[in-house]
Structure 1
Amino acid sequence: MNEHLDTLSPAIVWRHFRTLCNTPRPSGHEERLASIIERWADERGLPHDRDAAGNLRVRKPASSGCESAPGVILQGHLDMVAQANADHPHDFTTDPIDTYIADGWLHASDTTLGADNGLGVAAALAVLEDDTLRHGPLEALFTVEEESSMGGALQLAEHWLEGSLLLNLDSEDRGEVYIGCAGGADVVVSASLPTSALRDDEQVWQLALTGLKGGHSGIDIHKGLGNANRLLVRVLRALEPYGARLIDYHGGTLRNALPREAFATLALDADEGEAAQARIAELQDELVAELAGIDDRLVLELEARDDAPGEALTRTASHMLVAALHVAPCGVERMSVEVPGVVETSNNLGVVALEQGRFTLCALVRSLRDSATADIADRFRALFGLIGAETRVENAYPGWTPNPESPLLARFRRLHQHLLGSDPEVKVIHAGLECGILGGKYPALEMISFGPQIRGAHSPDERVELDSVEEFWKLLRALIEDLAERQAA
């Protein structure tokens, strides 16, 4: 499948990316891909090993005469975000990604593409394969479960890696190089809420909010895109005068993706259905107008259901839950003063669910300041404590402190200017690159991050610009050769 990828340039990179597209690899299901890479390494005589977390390392000895050059670690993650349009059945644990080319960009049909971070992995494999490349000692580090929890990096073995320079290949903007990133943590809220039987004078309705673009909960958090959970909760507040009681709720599927869809089943007073539908039509117009030019394909629907689930939240419990969700932190909290134009702190209401009175929420807080991450987590604890919920913090990871004086950065900038005729923008990203975690385990590592141009990451709109992949490969090869030649002399 995806044979057309073999016609693209650079062929050595796209051939490996085709393997990744044809191999299912959502978070937690990286074993098959890791085994394929290990067999490939065996065929080429490249030593490889794994740590206890399942992270994979493949090594290649230095080219003759470059043995004294500093060791370079090429780093990316094996897993991808699993998101598909609601009307497109796709099993990410068994089905390959179906790709197509349009207007100079590679897309996937109704699913995430996996260019994040598949192209970084493919480029690292291409470096290991390229026997024309002159290089120092190489290690390719492929981590697991980056998209779901940063688990691979958090559990990475210490005293395992040997290189002193790390090239993270998980950035998504051509013409830019990243030297710092936000840290973050998952905030998980859960509660058992009281329910009561439906009354004879209540009718069951299905409420759906669909059509949003979605996107990356860090990189795209400041763009004004709609958050389906935030918006549907707003709608539920507006329906309270019609006797609304929540029966169930399902919004979002990943804490690190802006939720594109949300659905609720609710009970309304039987004689209020017509008025509620009229209010829904008004809200549809209001929300579309507010999101015009940014995320204006929102669809809001309220339809009567014939089946009658036995119970709904009590009126008080429903009101308190909706109120708490309505005021919960969501979106950009603060912009950075030290790094102008960069989000300092944000939160994504990523996954919200209610079923048979059991409420769960998973939000992802990101910040350049660990103290701000802790504060937002505590605000969740204080707010949802009012409805008797338990709040816990999971998968916390540190940020990556920028070092603008890095010699590795200076070398990359000179090469970028020489090869492409422009100085790259030096950036700090409001997303959770693994560099912060890796730097904590290996403090002596000098690191930068760069990659091809990817848009719509973490959504079915994900795509990569073909020309940028050639540029990315050109820079990566040149940097590895430059590091080997200049420091081996």
Structure 2
Amino acid sequence: MNEHLEQLAPQPLWRHFRTLCNTPRPSGHEAELVSILERWAERQGLVHDRDGFGNLRLRKPATPGHENAPGIILQGHLDMVAQANADHPHDFTRDPIETYVEDGWLRARHTTLGADNGLGVAAALAILEDSELVHGPLEALFTLEEETSMGGALQLAENWLDGRVLLNLDSEDRGEVFIGCAGGADVVVEAQLPTAEPGPGEVAVQLALTGLSGGHSGIDIHRGRGNANRLLVRVLRALEAYDIRLVGYRGGTLRNAIPREAFATLMLSADEIDAVASRVATLEQELRTELAGVDDGLTLAMTPLEARPAQALNAHASHMLLAALNAAPYGVERMSSSVPGVVETSNNLGVVSLDEGRFHLCALVRSLRDSAVNDLADRFRGLFDLIGARTRVENAYPGWTPATDSALLARFRRLHRQHVGSEPAVKVIHAGLECGILAGKYPALEMISFGPSIRGAHSPDERVELSSVEEFWGLLRALIEDLACDTAMGA
């Protein structure tokens, strides 16, 4: 599948990306891809090893005469976000990604593309097999489970890597180079809430809020897009005037993707069906008006259910849960005062579920300041303590502190001017690059992050600009060759 990818330029990079598209690799299911890459490395005569977590390293010795150049680590993550449109059956653990080209962009049919971070991985592999490239010692570090927990970076072995320079290939904007990123943590809330049998006059209905754009919970959090969990809770709060009771809820699939869809099952009096249907239609129009120009595809539908649930939350529990969810922090909390135009602190209400009284929420808190991550997580704890829920913080990872005086940054800027003809924008990103974690384990590393233009990451709208991939490839090769001539930096 995806034979057409090998007709794109640069051909070596796209050939490897085809392998990635044809090999299922959602977070936690990277083992098959790791085995494929190890076999490929053996055919190339490359040394390969793994650390205790399973992160993969491939090594290539320097071009003769350049052994004293600084060792370079090409770094990316093997896993991808698994998101598909609700009406498209796709098993990310078994099915390949089907790609196509449209108007200069590569896209996937009804699913995420995996350009995040498949293109960075493909570029590193293509570099390793480039026989014409002059280079110092090369390592390619491919981490696991970045999209779900940063697990690979967090568990990365210390005193394992040899390089002095790390090039993170997980950025998503041509013409930009990143030197800092937000840290973050998962906030998990759970509770077993009391239920009661439906009353004799109650019937069940389902509400479905769909059609939102979604997106990356760091890069897109400031764009004003609708969060399906936030919006459906708002609808449910409005319907409390009709004495509804929650039966079940399902919204969002990943804590780092802005939820595009949410579904709720509720009980209400049969006498109120028409009134509730009318109110739902009004609420749909209100939300569509508010999100006009941002999320024009929003739909809100109510469907009567024939099956009668055995239990629903009791009236008090239903009210308290909706009140807490309605008050929960979400979206942009604060903009940075030191880095203009960059979000400092935010939260994504990523995954919410309710099933037979079991409530679960997973939110992702991000900030350029670790203290702000801790504070926002504590606000969740304080809020959900009021309804007797248990809150824990997991998978915390530090931010990456910018180093504006970096010699590596100065080198990249010079090469960008030479090869692209313009000065790159130096950026700090409100997303969880692995650089912050890696810097904590290897503080002597100099690092930058750059990549091609990717849009709609973490959603089925994900796409990559083909011309930007060629530019990215040229810059990466130029930087590696430039570093190969620098024996002073490698000393």
Q: Where on the TM-score scale, by shorter chain, does this alignment land: which range?
A: over 0.9
Residue type matched to 2:144 in 1?
V
Contact 1:352 1:361 in 2 (8 A): yes
Q: How does 1:1-400 map to 2 (within 5 A)?
A: 1-400=1-400
Q: Which amino acid aligns with 2:114?
A: G
Q: Is the 8 A contact 2:70 2:486 kept in 1?
A: no
Letter in 2 for 1:388: G
Q: Give the match's secondary structure for 2:248.
A: strand
3-state SS, counterpart of residue 124 of structure 2: helix
The aligned amino acid for 1:168 is N
> Counterparts of 2:44 and 2:375 in 1: how far apart (Å)?
50
CA displacement at 1:13 relative to structure 2: 0.3
Q: Is 1:403 aligned with 2:409?
A: no
Superposition deviation, residue 485 in structure 1: 1.4
Whether the 8 Å CA contact 1:67–1:488 is kept in 2: the answer is no
CA shift, 1:270, in A, is: 1.5
**8 Å Cα contact 1:65/1:488 also seen in 2:** no
Contact 1:192/1:358 (<8 A) preserved: yes
Give the alignment's Cα RMSD to 1 decimal.
Answer: 0.7
Rounded Cα–Cα distance in structure 1 between residues aligned with 2:190 and 2:376: 17
TM-aligned CA deviation for residue 488 of structure 1? 6.5
Read off the aligned partner of 2:172 and give its amino acid letter: E
- Confirm or deny that 1:418 pairs with 2:406: no
8 A contact 2:335–2:343 mirrored in 1: yes
Amino acid at match of 2:29: H
Contact 2:69 2:487 in 1 (8 A): yes
Aligned structure 1 segments of 4 or more residues deviating by more than 6 angstroms = none
Measure, in 2, the Cα distance between the counterparts of 1:412 and 1:440.
23
Whether the aligned pair in 2 keeps the contact of 1:66 and 1:488 (CA below 8 Å) is no
| Cα pair 1:186 1:395 within 8 Å, conserved | yes
Structure 1 distance, partners of 2:244, 2:422, is 58
Q: What is the alpha-carbon distance in structure 2 between the residues aligned to residue 36 and residue 204 of structure 1?
A: 49
Quote the offset at 1:203 in angstroms: 1.1
Look up the equivalent residue of 2:474 and give its one-letter code: K
Q: 1 CA distance for matches of 2:388 and 2:486?
A: 62
Equivalent positions of 1:438-453 (< 5 A) are: 438-453=438-453
The aligned amino acid for 1:78 is L
Q: Would you say the 8 A contact 1:367–1:373 is kept in 2? A: yes
Name structure 1 gaps, 5 residues minimum.
Answer: none
Distance across 1 between alignment mates of 2:220 and 2:398: 20
- CA distance in 1: counterparts of 2:487 and 2:104, whole angstroms: 38
- Which amino acid counterpart does residue 440 of structure 2 have in structure 1? G
Give distance in 1, aligned partners of 2:452 and 2:248.
41
Task: Give the distance between the partners of 2:22 and 2:209, measured in 1 at CA.
Answer: 32
Residues of 2 paired with 1:108 and 1:131: CA distance? 31
Question: Does the residue aligned with 1:68 lie in a helix, a strand or coil?
Answer: coil
CA contact (8 A) 2:74 2:167 kept: yes
TM-score by length of 2: 0.99
Q: Separation in 1 of the partners of 2:176 and 2:295?
A: 26
Q: CA deviation at 1:232?
A: 0.1
Q: Match of 1:142, as an amino acid?
A: F
Q: Verify the 8 A CA contact 1:365 1:376 in the aligned structure 2.
A: yes
Cα distance in 2 between the residues matched to 1:324 and 1:302: 23
Residue 334 (structure 1) shift: 0.1
Contact 1:353 1:360 (C-alpha < 8 Å) held by counterparts: yes
Matched-pair contact (CA < 8 Å) for 2:112–2:459: yes
Q: Which residue of 1 aligns with 2:464?
A: 464
Q: For 1:6 and 1:296, how far apart are their aligned partners in 2?
A: 36
Which residue type is aligned with residue 264 of structure 1? A
Runs of 5+ consecutive residues of structure 2 not aligned to the other structure:
none
Which letter maps to 1:185?
A: A
Shift of 1:438: 0.2
CA distance in 2, matches of 1:305, 1:64: 72
Paired residue total: 489
**Partner AA of 2:177 in structure 1:** V
CA distance in 1, matches of 2:320, 2:488: 66
Structure 1: which amino acid aligns with 2:157?
A: A
SS of residue matched to 1:443: coil
Tell me the SS of whatever aligns to 1:121.
helix
Q: Deviations over 1:197-222 (max 9, x none)?
A: 00011111011000001100000000
Secondary structure of 2:303's partner?
A: strand
Q: Distance in 1 between the 2:384 and 2:348 partners? A: 16
Q: Residues of 1 paired with 2:488 and 2:49: CA distance?
A: 27
Equivalent residue letter for 1:203: V
**1:155-194 residue CA offsets vs partner (Å, 9 max, x unmatched):** 0000000001000000000000000000000000000000
Aligned partners of 2:273 and 2:371: how far apart in 1? 47
